[in-house]
């Protein structure tokens, strides 16, 4: 829901229903989504709040996730009461009593993890959140926060795609396997770069490797890219960024894609730009 921040409730409802009808039930947004655009900070949450209000029963059919902690122009502020206030503002914009998964959007390097943990615990005890996770954290940052948490963190949200493979090597996905964390991968199509004509040699090489699988499977390049990420044993959940209902529906074609280990590694080699050791 990164780009879900206009003022067209009918179109926003169509996107949401397309996802739900396709079996997509995780709706991930953030208070910062919309910042820098016409409707500003909080626009994505406010728009989805209007969709929820106009469609009784929708709230109970989805897993509602949002994020907080980015506060321009500071830029990051997750300390103590501020995080609680941020979450409460999200609840008001969304028009709900509780958020299923509340995530710290980016690490505030000036915040002690014990203070973050206490704020999350307060929100949970008050029934304002049901579970907590983090986004864009390193494994050591995650471990520092987890050490102070009175209840387990359940998720991480890294950037992960055939064009951004760092989580395979920096310990993020290894930690997810170690701690049984849900992985929500953002920009699974490389910010859309994998959808169009490649403008650099590396993206072109990755596209060629994906297209070879797509041709054999009778699938789209996007579906193969989603499936490539989902093939990792941590079972990443790709966050679909499209605002087009048909493309949202087509995302579930990823479940139809089967690739061999050799094909998966061929995509990785293309992304790395060099042979594996």
pLDDT 10s digits, 13-65: 999 999 999 999 999 999 999 998 888 899 999 999 999 999 999 999 999 99
What DSSP state is assigned to residue 46?
A: H
The structure's pTM equals 0.94
Cis peptide before 15 (omega within 30 of 0): no
> What pLDDT does 80 receive?
85
Which tokens sit at 41? 């900070």
Strand 99-104 relative to strand 129-135, pairing: parallel
List helix spans (H) across the chain: 9-21, 43-54, 80-94, 113-125, 139-146, 172-179, 201-217, 221-230, 245-250, 261-272
> Which pLDDT tens digits describe the chain residue by residue (277 residues)?
988 888 899 999 999 999 999 999 999 999 999 998 888 899 999 999 999 999 999 999 999 999 999 999 999 999 889 999 999 999 999 999 999 999 999 999 999 999 999 999 999 999 999 999 999 999 999 999 999 999 999 999 999 999 999 999 999 999 999 999 999 999 999 999 999 877 899 999 999 999 999 999 999 999 999 999 999 999 999 999 888 999 999 999 999 999 999 999 999 999 999 999 9
Which residues are catalytic, by number? 33
Structural domain boundaries in the chain: 1-157, 194-277
> What pLDDT does 3 receive?
87
Q: Which residue has the tokens 């950037």?
A: 159
CATH architecture of 1-157: Alpha-Beta Barrel (3.20)
Q: If you count them, how many residues does the chain have?
A: 277
> What pLDDT does 7 receive?
86
Identify the burial level of 195 via C-beta atoms within 10 angstroms of its C-beta, where 0-12 means exposed, 13-18 middle and 19 or more buried.
middle
- Residues with Cβ < 8 Å from 131, sequence gap 6 or more? 100, 101, 102, 124, 154, 155
> What pLDDT does 35 receive?
92
d(CA 223, CA 204): 17
């Amino acid at each position: 829901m990164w780009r879900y921040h206009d003022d067209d409730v009918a179109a926003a409802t169509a996107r949401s229903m397309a996802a739900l009808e396709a079996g997509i039930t995780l709706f991930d947004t953030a208070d910062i989504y919309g910042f820098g655009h016409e409707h500003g900070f909080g626009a994505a949450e406010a728009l989805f709040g209007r969709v929820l209000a106009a469609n009784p029963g929708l709230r109970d059919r989805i897993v509602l996730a949002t994020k907080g902690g980015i506060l321009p122009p500071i830029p990051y502020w997750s300390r103590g009461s501020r995080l609680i206030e941020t979450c409460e503002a999200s609840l008001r914009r969304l028009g709900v009593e509780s958020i299923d998964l509340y995530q710290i959007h980016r690490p505030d390097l000036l915040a002690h993890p014990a203070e973050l943990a206490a704020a999350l615990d307060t929100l949970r005890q008050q029934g304002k959140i049901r579970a907590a996770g983090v986004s864009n954290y390193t494994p050591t940052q995650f471990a520092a926060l987890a050490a102070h948490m009175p209840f387990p963190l359940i998720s991480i949200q890294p950037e992960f795609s055939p064009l951004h493979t760092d989580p395979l090597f920096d310990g993020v996905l290894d930690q997810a396997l170690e701690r049984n964390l849900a992985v929500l991968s953002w920009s699974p199509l490389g910010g859309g770069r994998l959808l169009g004509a490649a403008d650099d040699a590396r993206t072109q090489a990755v596209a060629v490797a994906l297209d070879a699988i797509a041709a054999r499977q009778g699938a789209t390049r996007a579906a193969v890219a989603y499936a490539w990420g989902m093939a990792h044993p941590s079972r990443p959940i790709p966050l679909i960024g499209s605002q087009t209902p048909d493309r949202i529906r087509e995302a579930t074609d990823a479940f139809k894609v089967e690739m061999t280990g050799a094909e998966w590694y061929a995509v990785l080699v293309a992304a790395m730009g060099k042979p594996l050791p």
